[in-house]
Structure 1
Amino acid sequence: MKVSQCLWFEKGMDEALRLYTSLIPGSSLDWGSALPAESPSGPPDSVKIAGFTLGDQRYMAFQAAGRPGAFNHCVSIMIECETQAEIDKLWEALGEGGQYEQCGWLRDRWGLAWQINAKRLGELQKGPDRAAAKRVTEAMLKMVKIDIAALEAAARG
């Protein structure tokens, strides 16, 4: 049994998947095609499907008009970054044409929600010094883009 997430794009799926897989190491476009003319899903060439991998996660995507609803925060893709440079790169590339939000969240230009997070945030929040963890969390809640140096400064008090 295999499990993968499926993303429904109303338009721009090919561009989105090329961007996503170019940004995240270990990613690939695995397969893709337009459904044949006899597809019951719509007129010829109106439906596309693709399989892709982001890091260590499998996804399927399809593009078709009439999407039942927009992407929302109930499902997001979270990326845990090792460095501030990784955060900055993903933040700019995925956020271009989209919308930046609080606490490391953004919506890309296709409306998909992303959490661009720091591995260090989790380490600081899970540490034995609960007062430091609280300061880190309070600092993070005031951020838009995650700032590792500011989180470490908050931990130190």
Structure 2
Amino acid sequence: MQKITTCLWFDGQAEDAMNFYVSIFKNSKVLSVMRWPKGHADEGKVLVTTFELDGVPFQALNGGPQFKFNEAMSQSIDCKTQEEVDYFWEKLTEGGEPGVCSWLKDKFGVSWQVVPEQLPRLLLDPDRAKAGRVMSAMMQMSKIDIAKIEAAARG
């Protein structure tokens, strides 16, 4: 059992969000859907869902309109190829909005970073001029283009 699970707060969209995410990530599944019990004002409506995205546990809570998502908390997806970057970017920006430097917001307002594995490696390169060129290239992008950051690294 994993000790830490991310809980995402929604205003009535917990089940829709869970189904959306599970449809995007391979090796994902719905674990449970808890509904309000009989006699409660919201009887039968979804209260909490639990699910896994590629083996990572999540909860989605229908907590109400009090809190909204913002960029202070995001989910980061490590990608091996441009095809993976393109896939997750396309799926998660559907109804959402692209941001800058690998960030986006999905249609529920959740922030994601779609990060090719080359990016952190190049940004941490001991050759600080090389890392600086990669940083400059990244700062001009929304979705990360691996070929362009690798070209920037080469100078």
**TM-score, length basis structure 2:** 0.91
Q: Indicate the RMSD between aligned Cα atoms, in angstroms.
A: 1.7
Deviation string 1:34-69 (CA, Å, 9 cap, x unpaired) is: 121245xx52134421111122421111224x3321
Secondary structure in structure 2 of the residue aligned to 1:137: helix
Q: 1:78 Cα deviation (Å)? A: 0.6
Would the aligned equivalents of 2:137 and 2:148 in 1 still touch at CA under 8 Å?
yes
Deviation string 1:113-150 (CA, Å, 9 cap, x unpaired) is: 11111111011112232211111011111101111000
Q: 1:20 Cα deviation (Å)? A: 1.1
Kindly provide the amino acid, as one letter, of the partner of residue 112 in structure 1: V
Aligned equivalent of 2:102:
104
| Distance of aligned partners of 1:31 and 1:78 in 2 relative to their CA distance in 1, 3 Å threshold | same
Secondary structure in structure 2 of the residue aligned to 1:103: coil
Secondary structure in structure 1 of the residue aligned to 2:91: helix
Give 5+ residue unaligned stretches, structure 2: none
Would the aligned equivalents of 1:8 and 1:67 in 2 still touch at CA under 8 Å?
no
Deviation string 1:66-89 (CA, Å, 9 cap, x unpaired) is: 332110111111101111111111
Aligned equivalent of 2:65:
67
For 1:3-152, list aligned pairs within 5 A. Answer: 3-39=4-40, 42-64=41-63, 66-152=64-150
**TM-score, length basis structure 1:** 0.89
Q: How many residues align?
A: 154
